[in-house]
């Protein structure tokens, strides 16, 4: 099973091994989404989906505390600082908050605080409640009342130095004024963009052909993270202060008292923050703010509750990445009803076909929504994957009245169908099995061990698909493929955009075409005679390349460096490889496919991906056109005179005189082909201790069976120490 296959198993049913794999998957997935959210300001999942990932991680860790990983999401906040700015180390970490989603969660939070402090339930406990601004966290360092540094949250320990940018925000004072200003204090708060200002900015961006921001939070973060400070200065950014980090002294002994001092010093604080006593008042505050939410001039995604007494905050302390004395009460996603007008299929750079709903425009949470993600084929059918969100297995049909939700107020999605309003003429949607971008077959892979079908349908067009082409070209010239100096991702993108390089063979005809062209490469901006000549020489030097690098460069799904080496060794030459793969692409029943599938280390999923690639005539044409320009060479020479040269060998059982890896490597050096299973084409089976079904199969087919000593004698290694 792959790690992904444990994602749907209830936590109570996970085995220890499954839990370990699931924690590994979640750590990588959450790190990916943190990078998108905190560093690139481009989230691809909703807040609700992100929170669900974190909850699952935390609950698994609670059940299996010994499996908590060093890189666990529960131990970190945000993402590392981006490279474009200098870095600032936070003297006091900028931690995140735990989440509450229901009123019962808030009651539980208050009860936990009482239990930890050993306070009777009937003893009133004051909390500061305030709107949770959906913006960018910032830390402002004041020394002697003067603003000296500003840093983003980053990973909680180290953030980006955005001091010059922050200095352009009018609401942030360069100098604090008033009584009791500490000699040193780090003010923590949120930079945000009001909704009306966000709408005006997007209008300006659209008119100028610039980037359109998805929401005010992304706009605020993108505006602050500008290397050109004048751009930040031109953007309508605002600020609320609500906390502090390092401080030489504090002006009060309560959260509300410190906030009041902030206001007196000239820092903007949220006027809707107030002190509440006990869970009922907190919940009432939350419900009241939820009613006001649409009328607020800025986006909020919940409410934050903090124990008001600083002395009690100190006693409560922290757990993992969040304080015990505070919690964020999140709002549910906002919903609206509209009509599904159509379904468009988008092809991603990896070949994934993603359906997108075209909707009758509808306002959801103050934003006009015209499109929504449909995730994948099964979601539309309502039969699994992310389709379980549609109740009772309901499918989606064009013309349906649907309920749209802005999950986490970021990415709209359809969560239900109003069956009573379904038109009688509405028919089940038929997902395409060909790529709309290039016409190649689009397939769903099956896991060879479980038989589970991948939820994603992918284009097999590879190098010829316009939706994938530029990314495939970048892969083609990457370090472990053709590795052409001077032809990195930036130049590939520029040459592709200008029509100079559309396919791999174009790289190797570039010099000839340039010589005939009136617009020379050396005349392009950033180029000259010397750099152009250097690039042409680097391309020429790669006309001869190792076969495994050639195979890897084709960008066939699942074919990495290791698999490319296996294929290069097994088939020996590009002629053998090309002929066998074309035959394998014709049918799974073909001997060539069975032979491919039988190579040790390949497997059915990889074999199918390779066969699918070569089953497309245009992929074969690309390979053939490329072979007119380059000459793939076999891997290091093998001993073609040995007794096992050209023979197919299978190792089975426990080997005691050599490791399986050593045996395989030696066989390949002697020109043998190592297969993973026994067939009529097998020449030798080398059987160690406890050999099982493969040994029985060999005897059934009359294949020669050798013991380890016999194998070593046959290969001339019997005398090794």
DSSP per-residue letters across 376-437: SHHHHHTSSTTGGGSGGG----TT-EEEEEEETTTEEEEEEE-GGG--TT-------SB-TT
DSSP track, 142-169: EETTEEEEEEE-TTSSEEEB-HHHHTT-
Q: Three-state SS for 62? A: helix
CA distance 412 to 472: 30
Q: CB-based burial of residue 113 (10 Å sphere; 0-12 exposed, 13-18 middle, 19+ buried)?
A: buried
| pLDDT in the model for residue 388 | 43
Q: What angle do CA 233, 235, 238 make, to 5 degrees?
A: 95
Nearest to 517 by CA among 485, 539, 486, 495: 495
Q: Three-state SS for 397? A: coil
* Residue 122 included in any domain: yes
Q: What is the CATH number of the domain that holds 588?
A: 1.10.150.20
Nearest to 242 by CA among 90, 137, 100: 137
Q: CB under 8 Å to 121, separation ≥6 — which residues? A: 111, 114
Same domain, yes or no: 483 and 521:
yes
For residue 5 the two structure tokens come to 């296959």
Q: What is the CATH number of the domain that holds 653?
A: 3.40.50.10190
For residue 243 the two structure tokens come to 């906390």
Q: Residue 157 half-sphere exposure, CB side, CA atoms within 13 Å?
A: 4
pLDDT grade for 674, boundaries at 50, 70 and 90? confident
- In this prediction, residues 621-643 reach a mean pLDDT of 85
Task: Choose one of 605, 636, 667: the last residue of a domain.
Answer: 636
pLDDT grade for 313, boundaries at 50, 70 and 90? very high
DSSP track, 337-366: EEEEEEEEEEE-TTSEEEEEEEEEEEEETT
Express each pLDDT in 326-383 by its tens digit. Answer: 999 988 767 778 899 999 998 876 788 989 999 988 777 656 788 888 888 888 888 6
pLDDT grade for 389, boundaries at 50, 70 and 90? very low
Nearest to 668 by CA among 698, 633, 697, 634: 634
For residue 721 the two structure tokens come to 């120490």
Same domain, yes or no: 71 and 136:
no
Least confident of 227-231, 269-273, 290-294, 477-481: 290-294
CA distance 335 to 319: 34
CA distance 685 to 694: 8
- Number of other CB atoms surrounding residue 124 within 10 Å: 8
**What percentage of residues in the chain have a pLDDT greater than 90?**
41
What size, in residues, is the chain? 721
* Residue 431 included in any domain: no
Q: What are phi and psi of 90, to 5 degrees?
A: -75, 125
Same domain, yes or no: 469 and 580:
yes
| pLDDT in the model for residue 680 | 85
Strand 318-319, strand 274-277: pairing = unpaired
pLDDT above 60: residue 230: yes
* Residue 210 included in any domain: yes
CA distance 49 to 37: 13
pLDDT grade for 624, boundaries at 50, 70 and 90? very high
Same domain, yes or no: 588 and 624:
yes
For residue 238 the two structure tokens come to 């605002």
Residue 401 contacts residue 374 (beta carbons within 8 Å): no
- Number of other CB atoms surrounding residue 705 within 10 Å: 18
Same domain, yes or no: 376 and 414:
yes
Q: Which H helix or E strand runs over 442?
A: strand 442-443
Considering all CA atoms of the chain, what is the largest pairwise distance in Å, rounded to the nearest integer?
Answer: 96
Strand 648-652, strand 684-687: pairing = parallel
**What percentage of residues in the chain have a pLDDT greater than 70?**
91
Of 501 and 387, more confident:
501
Same domain, yes or no: 601 and 582:
yes
Residue 316 contacts residue 110 (beta carbons within 8 Å): no
Of 554 and 226, more confident:
554
Structural domain for 372, as ranges: 334-421
* Residue 165 included in any domain: yes
Number of domains in the chain: 5
CA distance 539 to 535: 6
- In this prediction, residues 411-436 reach a mean pLDDT of 89
Catalytic residues: 132
- In this prediction, residues 567-582 reach a mean pLDDT of 93
| pLDDT in the model for residue 561 | 83
Top mean pLDDT of 2-11, 209-218, 362-371, 438-447 is at: 438-447
* Residue 720 included in any domain: no
Same domain, yes or no: 71 and 129:
no
Strands (E), 82-145: 87-89, 98-100, 126-133, 136-143
CA distance 712 to 537: 47
Q: Three-state SS for 643? A: coil
Q: What are phi and psi of 454, to 5 degrees?
A: -60, 140
Residue 478 contacts residue 552 (beta carbons within 8 Å): no
Residue 171 contacts residue 238 (beta carbons within 8 Å): yes
| pLDDT in the model for residue 407 | 55
pLDDT grade for 604, boundaries at 50, 70 and 90? confident
| pLDDT in the model for residue 719 | 46
Same domain, yes or no: 363 and 312:
no
Express each pLDDT in 81-117 by its tens digit. Answer: 555 578 999 999 898 888 898 899 999 999 999 999 9
Residue 404 contacts residue 337 (beta carbons within 8 Å): yes
Nearest to 272 by CA among 172, 131, 402: 131
Mean pLDDT of the chain: 86
* Residue 623 included in any domain: yes
- In this prediction, residues 611-616 reach a mean pLDDT of 91
Q: What is the CATH number of the domain that holds 12?
A: 1.10.287.610
pLDDT above 80: residue 649: yes
| pLDDT in the model for residue 409 | 46
Fill in the DSSP letter of residue 35: I
Express each pLDDT in 25-81 by its tens digit. Answer: 898 888 888 777 766 666 667 666 777 888 888 889 888 888 888 778 876 665 555
Residue 690 contacts residue 653 (beta carbons within 8 Å): yes
Same domain, yes or no: 283 and 146:
yes
Same domain, yes or no: 606 and 520:
yes
Q: What are phi and psi of 201, to 5 degrees?
A: -60, -45
- b/e per residue, 205-221, with b = 16+ CB within 10 A? eeeeeeeebbbbbbbbb
Q: What is the CATH number of the domain that holds 390?
A: 2.40.50.140
Same domain, yes or no: 226 and 370:
no
Same domain, yes or no: 180 and 247:
yes
pTM of the model: 0.46
Task: Choose one of 312, 330, 348: the last residue of a domain.
Answer: 330
* Residue 652 included in any domain: yes
Q: What angle do CA 438, 440, 444 make, to 5 degrees?
A: 125
Task: Choose one of 636, 657, 690: the last residue of a domain.
Answer: 636
How far CA 329 is from CA of 45, 94, 311, 709, in Å, comes to 20, 19, 23, 69
pLDDT grade for 526, boundaries at 50, 70 and 90? confident
Residue 239 contacts residue 132 (beta carbons within 8 Å): no
Express each pLDDT in 554-570 by its tens digit. Answer: 989 888 888 898 899 88
Nearest to 459 by CA among 585, 602, 352: 352
């Amino acid at each position: 099973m792959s790690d992904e296959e444990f994602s749907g198993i209830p936590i109570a049913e996970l085995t220890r091994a499954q839990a370990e794999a699931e924690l590994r998957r979640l750590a990588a997935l959450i790190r990916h989404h943190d990078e998108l959210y905190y560093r690139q300001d481009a989230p691809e999942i909703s807040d609700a989906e992100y929170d669900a990932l974190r909850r699952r991680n935390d609950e698994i860790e609670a059940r299996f505390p010994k499996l908590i990983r060093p890189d666990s999401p529960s131990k970190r906040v945000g993402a590392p600082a981006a490279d474009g700015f200098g870095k600032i180390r936070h003297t006091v970490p900028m931690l995140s908050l735990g989440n509450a989603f229901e009123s019962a969660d808030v009651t539980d939070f208050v009860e936990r605080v009482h239990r930890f402090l050993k306070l009777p339930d009937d003893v009133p406990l004051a909390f500061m409640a305030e709107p949770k601004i959906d913006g960018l966290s910032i830390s402002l360092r004041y020394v002697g009342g003067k603003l000296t540094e500003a840093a983003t949250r980053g990973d909680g320990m180290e953030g980006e130095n955005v001091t010059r940018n922050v200095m352009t925000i009018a609401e942030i004072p360069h100098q604090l004024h008033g009584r009791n200003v500490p000699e040193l204090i780090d003010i923590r708060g949120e930079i945000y963009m009001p909704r009306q200002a966000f709408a005006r900015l997007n209008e300006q961006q659209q008119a100028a052909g610039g980037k359109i921001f998805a929401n005010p939070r992304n706009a605020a973060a993108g505006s602050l993270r500008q290397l050109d400070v004048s751009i930040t200065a031109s953007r309508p950014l605002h600020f609320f202060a609500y906390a502090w980090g390092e401080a030489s002294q504090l002006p009060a002994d309560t959260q509300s008292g410190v906030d009041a001092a902030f206001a007196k010093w000239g820092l903007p604080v949220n006027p809707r923050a107030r002190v509440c006593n006990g869970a009922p008042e907190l919940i009432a505050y939350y419900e009241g703010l939820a009613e006001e939410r649409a009328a607020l001039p800025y986006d909020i995604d919940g409410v934050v509750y903090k124990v008001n007494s600083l002395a009690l905050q100190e006693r409560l302390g922290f757990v993992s990445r969040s304080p015990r004395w505070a919690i964020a009460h999140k709002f549910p996603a906002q919903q609206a009803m509209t009509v599904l007008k159509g379904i468009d299929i988008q092809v991603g750079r990896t070949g994934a076909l993603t359906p997108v709903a075209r909707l009758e425009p509808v306002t959801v949470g103050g934003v006009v929504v015209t499109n929504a993600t449909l995730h994948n084929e099964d979601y539309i059918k309502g039969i699994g994957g992310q389709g379980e969100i549609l109740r009772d297995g309901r499918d989606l049909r064009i013309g349906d009245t649907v309920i749209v939700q802005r999950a986490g107020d970021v990415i709209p999605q359809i969560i239900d169908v109003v069956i009573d309003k379904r038109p009688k003429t509405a028919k089940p949607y038929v997902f395409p099995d060909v790529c709309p971008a290039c016409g190649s077959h689009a397939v769903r892979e099956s896991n060879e061990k479980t038989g589970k079908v991948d939820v994603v349908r992918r284009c097999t067009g590879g190098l010829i698909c316009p939706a994938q082409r530029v990314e495939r070209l970048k892969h083609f010239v990457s370090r472990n493929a053709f590795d052409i100096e001077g032809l990195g991702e930036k130049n590939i993108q520029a040459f592709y955009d200008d029509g100079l390089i559309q396919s791999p063979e174009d790289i190797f005809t570039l010099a000839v075409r340039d010589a005939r062209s009136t617009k020379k490469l050396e005349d392009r901006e950033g180029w000259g005679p010397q750099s152009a000549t250097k690039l042409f020489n680097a391309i020429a030097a790669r006309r001869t390349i190792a076969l495994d690098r050639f195979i890897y460069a084709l960008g066939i799904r699942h074919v990495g460096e290791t698999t490319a080496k296996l294929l290069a060794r097994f088939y020996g030459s590009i002629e053998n490889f090309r002929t066998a793969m074309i035959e394998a692409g014709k049918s799974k029943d073909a001997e060539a496919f069975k032979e491919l599938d039988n190579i040790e280390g390949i497997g059915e999923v990889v074999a199918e991906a390779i066969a699918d690639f070569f089953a497309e005539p245009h992929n074969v044409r690309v390979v053939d056109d490329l072979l007119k320009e380059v000459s793939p060479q076999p891997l290091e020479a093998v001993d073609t005179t040995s007794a096992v040269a050209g023979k197919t060998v299978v190792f089975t059982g426990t080997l005691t005189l050599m490791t399986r890896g050593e045996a395989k490597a030696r066989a390949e050096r002697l020109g043998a082909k190592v297969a993973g299973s026994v067939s009529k084409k097998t020449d030798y089976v080398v059987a160690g201790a406890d050999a099982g079904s493969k040994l029985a199969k060999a005897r059934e087919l009359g294949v020669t069976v050798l013991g380890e000593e016999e194998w070593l004698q046959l290969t001339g290694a019997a005398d090794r120490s």
